[in-house]
């Protein structure tokens, strides 16, 4: 299985979050899933918003180009990055993974 899945005009990334962590951190790859620690609690969408904020800030991608497409109430999530190539996303992730 690939880390990235092309979908329409963007890329889907599988993410596993660990909420209620000490700080927000992109930990690294676990198989083909990006593991991320979030300080936010998993209630009322707080962890989901924190995930989008972290990815936007670290990868320098507008929040409007990042969507959660599945896993709203799960630690396993699928995140869609609009209008980005494999190469560009991978390059941006390399700085943090």
Distance CA 18, CA 27 (A): 10
Q: Are 26 and 94 in contact (CB under 8 A)?
A: no
- The DSSP secondary-structure symbol of 50 reads H
Instruction: Give the pTM.
Output: 0.91
Instruction: List all residues 6 or more positions away from 27 whose beta carbon is below 8 Å from its beta carbon.
Output: 18, 35, 36, 37
Low-confidence residues of the chain: pLDDT under 70: 1
Task: Report pLDDT for 95.
Answer: 77
Length of the chain: 97
Task: Report pLDDT for 35.
Answer: 96
Task: Report pLDDT for 94.
Answer: 86
Task: Report pLDDT for 6.
Answer: 87
Task: Report pLDDT for 25.
Answer: 92
Classify domain 4-94 at the CATH superfamily level.
Answer: YggU-like (3.30.1200.10)
């Amino acid at each position: 299985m690939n880390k990235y899945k092309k979908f329409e005009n963007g890329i889907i990334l599988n993410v596993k979050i660990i909420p209620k962590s000490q700080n927000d951190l992109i930990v690294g790859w676990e198989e083909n899933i990006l593991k991320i620690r979030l300080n936010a609690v998993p209630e009322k969408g707080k962890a989901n918003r924190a995930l989008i904020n972290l990815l936007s800030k670290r990868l320098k991608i507008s929040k409007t180009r990042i969507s959660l497409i599945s896993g709203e109430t799960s630690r396993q999530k699928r995140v869609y990055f609009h209008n980005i190539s494999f190469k560009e996303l991978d390059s941006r992730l390399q700085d943090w993974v």
